[in-house]
Amino acid sequence: MRKYLIPTILLFTSFSLKAQSPPMLTAFEVNRFQNNILVDWEIAAGNFCTGLKVEHSTDSVNFVSIYDYPGICGNTTVNERYSFLHTNPVSNVRNYYRINLNTNGISDILGITFIKLEETGYALFPMPLTSNSKLYFNNDKKENVTLVIYNSAGAKVHEQQGIKNNEVNMGNLVLPAGLYHFNVIIAEKRNIEGKFVIVKD
């Protein structure tokens, strides 16, 4: 049986900072869901817990509780899966999460960098462009993406096809200083438009 606090659509994977979770915790994931972070965990059959907390940190050291599970969790015969939606993660930094099972121990620490997409459907930073700049957009279905860049005169100066993820490295573009416009075309049916500036030293 799977219990949900919200619908679960998983987008971004996470990484672990700790070696081992308590045996009763058979799964623990943090992923992006729209402009939120979805925390998803599973309790092994035959185990029960009280006082379970979802805890959050921005430095992986100092954690605060962001959710207290009401009542007793677990099931005698089947694994039970639970979810919590963190609606206000800290933007553009790494957010860390753990499950505090009270007397049953504490889970791995999972981290995920949360990039908040603007109303335009993308985020691009640092700006002006540097060697570390990345363009982020929503491509949860891993559809085929094409990036097309135009200069201020409207001439196409760059095209990149076959992108399958949610981001593009913009720092390796070899273009002169100036203002540029771009189109992110997802599955040939969804178009995101934006602009950026390149400044040369």
- In the chain, % helix, strand, coil (3-state, to 5) comes to 0, 50, 45
pLDDT interval class at 31 (50, 70, 90): confident
Q: Is residue 7 part of a domain?
A: no
**108 and 126 inside one domain:** no
**110 and 146 inside one domain:** no
Do the Cβ atoms of 84 and 67 come closer than 8 Å?
A: yes
**Does residue 194 sit in helix, strand or coil?**
strand
Q: Is residue 9 part of a domain?
A: no
Beta bridge partners of 114: 93
**59 and 127 inside one domain:** no
- d(Cα 72, Cα 102) in Å, to the nearest integer? 12
**158 and 178 inside one domain:** yes
Please tell me which of 5-19, 38-52, 129-143 the model is most confident about, judged by mean pLDDT: 38-52
**140 and 190 inside one domain:** yes
Q: Indicate which CATH number applies to the domain containing 86.
A: 2.60.40.10
Q: Name the residue range of residue 48's domain.
A: 15-114
The closest of 120, 112, 160, 126 to 138, measured between CA atoms, is: 120
**103 and 37 inside one domain:** yes
**100 and 152 inside one domain:** no
The predicted-structure confidence for 87-136, as pLDDT tens digits, reads as follows 999 988 899 999 999 888 999 999 998 888 878 889 998 888 998 999 99
**143 and 55 inside one domain:** no
- d(Cα 149, Cα 154) in Å, to the nearest integer? 9
**66 and 147 inside one domain:** no
**23 and 77 inside one domain:** yes
Domain end marker among 73, 98, 114: 114
Domain end marker among 68, 95, 114: 114
Q: Indicate which CATH number applies to the domain containing 146.
A: 2.60.40.3080
- d(Cα 41, Cα 30) in Å, to the nearest integer? 9
Q: Is residue 1 part of a domain?
A: no
pLDDT interval class at 18 (50, 70, 90): very low
pTM (whole model) above 0.75: no
The predicted-structure confidence for 126-147, as pLDDT tens digits, reads as follows 888 998 999 999 887 889 999 9
Q: How many structural domains compose the chain?
A: 2
Domain end marker among 68, 85, 114: 114
Q: Is residue 81 part of a domain?
A: yes
Which residue type sits at 168?
A: V
What is the model's pLDDT at position 20?
59
**157 and 80 inside one domain:** no
Q: Which residue has the higher pLDDT, 4 or 115?
A: 115
